[in-house]
A and B are shown apart, each in its own frame.
Chain A
Amino acid sequence: MITTTDLTKVYRTPGREVTALDGVDLHVGEGEVFGVVGQSGAGKSSLIRCVNLLERPTSGTVTVDGQELTALAGSGKRAGKELRRARARIGMVFQHFNLLSSRTVLGNVELPLEILGHSGHERTRKAHELLELVGLGEHAKVHPAQLSGGQKQRVGIARALAGDPKVLLSDEATSALDPETTRSVLQLLRDLKEQLGLTVLLITHEMEVVKAVCDSAALMKSGRITESGTVPELLATPGSELARELFPVGGTPSADDRTVVDVTFHGETTTEPVISKLSRTYNVDISILGAAMDTVAGKQVGRMRIELPGSFDDNVVPIGFLREQGLTVDVADVAPVAAEPQDNAGLVKEGAK
C-alpha cells in the first residue's frame, strides 16, 4: 500500500547539509499497522512527511495505493492539483492535533470536506457521522480549546478520516497524551483500522505504541532503517534490537561463572512449561533474573532472562534444547556487578581491577 524506494532527503542551509533520510526502503502492506520507531532526530518525521509529499524527497520514489506520488507535478512547497487530490485520500494525524481554534469541533471535521467540495448539508451530515464514529458526537458545537488532549486527538482522527482515506499517517499522535489516554486513542485507531480496512503508518518514539497496535515495525537510526519486519518476525530474530526494546528484561547474574540467557516466547511456546522441562531433563538449577509478559497485536508474547550455572561452554546443550523448543534465545553478555549494557561491561571490569 505504501512503498518507498531509496528515499533520501537532504536539508541544505548555507554552509551545512543535513541528511535526514539516507536511502529508505519501506514497504507497508495493505491493512497493516506499521510503526516506525526511533529517537528524535532519527528521520521519522521527515519520512512520514515525505510519504504525502509535505516534504519533497531529494531523491527516491513514494508510491501510495499504486500511485507514484513523487511523479506528480508540483514545485517546491506548491503542490499541483493531482498531488492535492492524492493527499485528500491520505489521512494524517498530528502530535499537537493541529486543530483550528477558530472553528468548532464540527467545523474542523468539515474543513477537509470543504476542500473536497462537498455541499454544506452533505458536509455537516458526514462530519456528524465521523464524530459519532470517534465517540465525540455530543461535542460537535464546542471549540477545540474546551476539549481534553485525548478528545482533541479524536477530533484530529475524525478529520483525517473525512476524505475516506485508505491510508492513515500518524505523526506521534499519542506523544502528547498521558498513558491512559494513549491507550484509548490507540484502541480507537486499532478499531477503525478493522472497521474501515485502513492501512496505518505511524511514527513514534514509544515502544508501548508499537506493542499496542502494530502488526509490523521498523527501527530508524540516523536516516536509515536498521530493522524491519512483522512483530513476530522481529521477536524471532536473534539479536533484534527492536525485540529487546519491546521487551526489556533486566537482572544481573549472581556470580562470575554463570551463563545469562534471554529467552523469548511467542505463539504456542507461551503455553509450554519449557523451563521446568529444561531443569528436569538436564538436572540444572535455573534462576529467573527477570521476565516480562505482554500481548502484542492480540498475541501473547513473553521474554525471560535466566541464569544457568557454569560458563557458556558448559551450557551449549541446554541452550540447544531451548532452541529446539521453538524459542528465540540470546546469550546475554552481562557483567555480574552492574546491569549495564554490553558495551559498557568491559569498562566496568577495567574499573574494578
Chain B
Amino acid sequence: MSWSEIQPLLFQGFWDTLYMVGWSTLIALVGGLPIGVLLVLTDKGGMLHNALVNKVVGAIVNVGRSLPFIILLIALIPFTRFVVGQSVGSTAAVVPLAIGAIPFFARLVETAIREVDRGLVEAVQAMGGGTPTVVFKALLPQALPSLVAGLTTTVIVLIGYSAMAGTVGGGGLGSVAVQYGYQRFETSVMIATVVALIVIVTVVQIIGDAVVRLLAAGREGAAAGREGSAAGRGAAADGGAGKRLARLGRGRGVALAAAVVLPLALIGYGIGQSGGDKQTLRIAASPTPHAEILEYVEKNLAEKEGIDLDIRKFNDYVVPNTATESGEVDANFFQHKPYLDDFNNKNDTHIVPVVNVELEPLGLYSKKVGSLRGLGSGDTVAVPNDSTNEGRALHLLAKHGLIELKPGAGQEATLGDIADKKGLTFKELEAAAVPRALDDVDAAVVNGNYAVDADLNPAKDALAAEKVEGNPYANFLAVKDGEQDDPRIRKLAKLLNSPQVEEFIEKKYKGAIEPAFGHVGS
C-alpha cells in the first residue's frame, strides 16, 4: 500500500486509539483511585481495618486482573450495551478497556499509597485529623508523583489493550495493524502502525515523567541540594524563592490545562462521532472481501441510488450479528447460511438473509505437495476450528477422498465425525491463522478471504476447491427480521447483485472469490 492509502488509516486509527484510551484512562482513574485507597485503609493495621471488605475487594481486583482482556471484551458485551447503549465501536470498546484498567490502576494506587511514611498518618491523627483528612491531606498529596507514574503505566497498558478493540469494531492503531498487517499481509501498514504506537507510547511516557518530575520538584533530597543552595543565596532577598514558586505554579498550570483540555477534546470528538446521519446505512462487514465490495458500491453506485453507507469492519464473527440484532448496525455482510442458522439457534437472534453476493470457495492448499495424490498417511492437515468452517473443510476433504465421514455427519461435522482418517493428523486453528500455518503443515484448508489475503488463489493454487453451484456457503447481506423491506436495504441488495459488482468481483479477485448472486436458499 502506498503512503496516501496508509495515511488515512493511520489518522483514523490514531484518533480511535486516543479516544478509547483517553476515556478509559479517565474512568480507570475515577474508579481505581478509591478502590486502591480502600485496599490500604481496610488492610491490617489500616485506619478502617476490615478484613472482610479487604478480602472481598482484593479478590474482585484479582479476578479482574487475571481475566485475559480478550475474554473480558466479549464477556462484557451485554454490560457494555446496557451502559453505553451499543456493543460495537470505539465508545463500546471504552467499557471493557476501563473495566480492565480499573483493577490494574487500583493495585498501582495501593502500592503508591503504601509507600507513604506511616509517620505522616500518625502526625495527622495526632493533630486530630480523621480518616478523610488523612486520605486527602496526607496520603494522596504525598503519593501524587507515584500516582501519576502509575497512571502513565496504565495509559500505556491501555494502548496495548486497545489493539484488541478491533474485535468489537473499536478501531484504533492496534487493530489497523492486525487487520492490514497480520491478516492482509500489508507489511508496510504493520510497520507504520507499530512505529506510530511506539511514538505514542514514548510521548506518553515522556509527558508522564515530566509531570512526575514537576510534582516532585523541591520535595526530594536530591533536588534539595540544588534548591537548598539556591535558597541560601536567595535567603536575604526572599524574591528568589517567590519566583521559583511562581515558576512551579506555572508548570502546574500547564499540566492542569493539559489534563483538562485533552479529555474535553476527546469528548468533543466522541460527540462528533456519535451524531450519525439517519439516512446512513450502517453495515458490519469482514474487511476482505466484504468491506471492499461495499466500498466499491459506496464509491461508484450508492450515490446514484441516494443511499449512504457507513461500513464498519470487524475481524470477529459474533459481534456483527449481535450488533445487527440490537440495531446498532442496520445490516451485516460476512456470513453464510449454515453459520447464520447455527448462530440464530444458539443465541436466540433473528437475523435473516437478504441476498447472496459472493462465495469464497474453501480450498485445500499445500506448500509441500503439488497435488492431492501427494497427501497420505502420516501427513498433517490444518483446518479452521470454528464449527461451520471445520465441517465445511471436512466435507471438502471427504469429497476428494482424503477422509471418510461417518454416515449422517452434518454440516457441523467435527474431527469426531470422521470414520477413517486414512492416516492423516489434524491441527485445528482459528480460521484467520490457518494460512500462516502452511509452512508448518503438509496441507491446510483455508477460507477464501484469508487465502486471498495470504496471496493464494483458489482458482490456481488450490489442490481442491469448492464449487459455486448449489453451495450453501455463499455470503449474503443480512438484516434483523423485519428490516428486509427497508427501501435502503432493497436498494443496497439490488446494487450488490448488479452487473457492475459482478464485474468488480471477477476482475479484482480473479476467481479467488466468485459472484454468487440471487436469493438465499433455505
Contacts and interface: CB of A to CB of B under 8 A. Distances in A.
B131 interface: yes
B218 A87 contact: no
B143 to A, nearest CB: 9
Interface stretch (A111-119, A235-243, A268-276, A324-332): A111-119
Interface stretch (A30-38, A75-83, A256-264, A282-290): A75-83
Interface stretch (A100-108, A190-198, A224-232, A302-310): A100-108
A335 interface: no
Question: Taking each of B46, B47, B126, which has the highest tally of chain A beta carbons within 10 Å of its own beta carbon?
Answer: B126
B423 interface: no
B123 interface: yes
Interface in A86-102: 86-88, 90, 92, 94, 96, 98-102
Contacts of A159: 123, 127
B47 A77 contact: yes
Interface in B121-166: 122-131, 133, 137-138, 141-142, 144
Contact of A79 (B119, B125, B224): B125
Contact of B223 (A88, A138, A145, A163): A145
Nearest to A85: B128
B146 to A, nearest CB: 11
B65 interface: no
Contact of A101 (B47, B129, B142, B235): B142
B127 A100 contact: no
B219 A145 contact: yes
Interface string B222-250: 01100110010001001001100100000
Contacts of A84: 128-130
A77 B49 contact: yes
B127 to A, nearest CB: 4
Interface in A34-66: 52, 54
A141 B125 contact: no
A100 B245 CA distance: 17
Contact of A111 (B46, B122, B124): B124
A114 B137 contact: yes
B54 to A, nearest CB: 14
A142 interface: yes
Given A54-B122, A141-B241, A78 B218 contact: no
A131 to B, nearest CB: 13
Contacts of B48: 77-78
B221 A92 contact: no
A145 B221 contact: yes
Interface residues on B, range: 35 or more
B117 interface: yes
B220 A145 contact: yes
- A interface secondary structure, majority: mixed
Nearest to A162: B127
B128 A87 contact: yes
A146 B122 contact: no
B238 A138 contact: yes
B84 interface: no
B218 A146 contact: yes
B318 interface: no
A98 B127 contact: no
A143 interface: yes
Contacts of A138: 235, 238
Interface residues on A, range: 35 or more
Interface in A147-179: 159, 162-163, 169
B141 A103 contact: yes
B128 A163 contact: yes
Contact of A142 (B49, B122, B141, B231): B231
Contact of A146 (B45, B119, B231): B231
A141 B218 contact: no
Given A87-B128, A88-B128, A146-B227, A100 B218 contact: no
B120 interface: yes
A78 B137 CA distance: 17
Contacts of B231: 139, 142, 146
Contacts of B123: 92, 94, 98-99, 159
Contacts of A81: 130
A88 B126 CA distance: 7
A102 B142 contact: yes
A115 B129 contact: yes
A99 B124 CA distance: 10
Contacts of A87: 125-128
Contact of A78 (B47, B219, B223, B227): B47
B47 A92 contact: no
Nearest to B121: A98
Contacts of A115: 124, 127-129, 133, 137
Interface in B173-227: 218-221, 223-224, 227
A142 B217 CA distance: 11
Contacts of B137: 100, 111, 114-115
A151 to B, nearest CB: 11
A135 to B, nearest CB: 13
A74 B422 CA distance: 79
Given A103-B141, A114-B137, A78 B235 contact: no
Nearest to A112: B127
Contacts of B47: 77-78
Contacts of B119: 94, 96, 98
Nearest to B126: A92
B219 A76 contact: no
Interface in B42-60: 45-49
A78 B123 CA distance: 14
B76 to A, nearest CB: 37
Given A77-B47, A102-B219, A163 B238 contact: no
Contacts of B49: 76-77
A54 B241 CA distance: 37
Contacts of B120: 98, 100
Contacts of B242: 141
A104 B142 CA distance: 12
B52 to A, nearest CB: 14
B218 A143 contact: yes
Nearest to B221: A145
Nearest to A92: B126
Contact of B241 (A52, A78, A100, A142): A142
B144 A54 contact: no
Contacts of A52: 126
Given A79-B125, A114-B137, 20 more contacts: A78-B130, A84-B129, A84-B130, A92-B126, A96-B117, A98-B120, A98-B122, A102-B142, A103-B141, A111-B124, A112-B127, A115-B127, A115-B129, A138-B235, A142-B218, A142-B227, A142-B241, A143-B227, A145-B221, A163-B127
5 contacts: A76-B49, A116-B128, A145-B219, A146-B218, A146-B231
Interface of B: 45-49, 117, 119-120, 122-131, 133, 137-138, 141-142, 144, 218-221, 223-224, 227-228, 231, 235, 238, 241-242, 245
3 A-B pairs with the lowest CB-CB distances in the bound complex, closest first: A88-B128, A98-B123, A102-B141
